Amino acid sequence: MDEYLRLENICKTYESKKAVDNLSLSVPQGSIYGIIGPNGAGKTTTIRMVMNIIAPDSGEVLIKGSKAKDDFRNRVGYLPEERGLYKQMTLKEIIRFLAEVKGLPVKKTDELMDGWLEKMSLIDYKEKKVEELSKGMQQKLQFITTLIHQPDLIILDELFSGLDPLNIELIKNVLMEEKRRGTTILFSTHVMEQAEKLCDYICMINGGQKVLDGRLSDVKSKFGTNSIQINMDGDGGFIQELPGVEKVSEFNNYIELKLSAEADSQAILKTVSEKMTIHRFEIMEPSLYDIFINMGGVKPSDFNKEGAANV
């Protein structure tokens, strides 16, 4: 697949803090690419450098192999982490305005507007002011303004923050449609579960540095550890002693086994089923979260820390 966006050894230092440290990555055309990392990892700074909102201290941002030209801004749709719109404008006015600063003529915007408002069930509010909308509606509206000019690259910072589950579904569907159109989608998040369901490629960063990157499936098979979940009746104390089992974690109604690389899961199933009733036996794919914790040396609490510097 062709490469759309490439970062080459970019660095950005604020005061004494290295926000982004020698980061390189390659985003294929038409892919959904997730930048994942805890708060303060440098995701927003990276995105701002891609957008040319701030310039890297060193390194280069390349679009299709060359430096971004002036009209690149028109071909990007950007949804910042914290959402906001001009509250005093009507939906119609603000969609027109934000499309016009992207270079979309008003006539073209008007043609596309109703379709988008229908899709996001906002059509009845077209002449209403933004401040009259609920928060969820404002997010959907902001999504329209991000996408209406049919960008080649969609950049979504902390895509899932503040979205309710219904809107997450809606927006995922819209993004899949955009992907089919050939649009490249770059997003950042610290919510791993959502990223896993959406992206083709990932790049994990922490402390401004890349931890790992690549196609999601490759990353999983390469860096994953085998694990099994079992629902069963009775005391499974003996399981700890089985060959290949490295660690047993007990949860409310199931246990999770961490296996060594050469362990035979079928043998374990057989042994356990002889001794007790199994309700569920599942070979787990490693989660991104686990991979990250293993690879990055990050503490799980880093992902829940709020209010980290947002630069």
Interface residues with other proteins (CB under 8 A) are 15, 48, 51, 53-57, 73-74, 76, 78-88, 97-98, 100-103, 142, 145-146, 155, 309-311
Q: Which is nearer to other proteins, 15 or 274 (CB)?
A: 15
Find the shortest distance in angstroms from Cβ 51 to other proteins.
5
Q: Which is nearer to other proteins, 99 or 211 (CB)?
A: 99
Q: Which is nearer to other proteins, 86 or 238 (CB)?
A: 86
Find the shortest distance in angstroms from Cβ 104 to other proteins.
10
H or E element, residue 279: strand 278-284
Q: For the chain, how big is the Rg over CA atoms in Å?
A: 23
Q: Which is nearer to other proteins, 109 or 226 (CB)?
A: 109
Find the shortest distance in angstroms from Cβ 67 to other proteins.
14
Nearest to 62 by CA among 99, 25, 22, 106: 25
Q: Which is nearer to other proteins, 21 or 57 (CB)?
A: 57
The C-alpha atoms of residue 208 and residue 49 are separated, in whole angstroms, by 13
Q: Which is nearer to other proteins, 104 or 228 (CB)?
A: 104
Find the shortest distance in angstroms from Cβ 9 to other proteins.
15
Q: Is residue 224 within 8 Å of residue 291, measured between CB atoms? A: yes
The C-alpha atoms of residue 53 and residue 87 are separated, in whole angstroms, by 24
Torsion of CA 35, 58, 306, 197, to 10 degrees: 0
Q: Is residue 128 within 8 Å of residue 105, measured between CB atoms? A: no
Find the shortest distance in angstroms from Cβ 113 to other proteins.
17
Sheet holding 66-67, edge to edge: 17-28, 3-14, 58-63, 66-67
Query: What's the residue count for the chain?
Result: 311
Write phi, then psi, for 83 (nearest 5 degrees): -90, 145
Tokens (6 digits) for 307: 């209010």
Q: Is residue 202 within 8 Å of residue 288, measured between CB atoms? A: yes
Find the shortest distance in angstroms from Cβ 154 to other proteins.
11
Find the shortest distance in angstroms from Cβ 181 to other proteins.
20
Find the shortest distance in angstroms from Cβ 144 to other proteins.
12
Beta carbons within 8 Å of 305's beta carbon, 6+ residues apart = 38, 39, 40
Q: Is residue 96 within 8 Å of residue 89, measured between CB atoms? A: no
Q: Which is nearer to other proteins, 81 or 200 (CB)?
A: 81
Q: Which is nearer to other proteins, 53 or 176 (CB)?
A: 53
The strand pair at 255-259 and 245-250 is best described as antiparallel
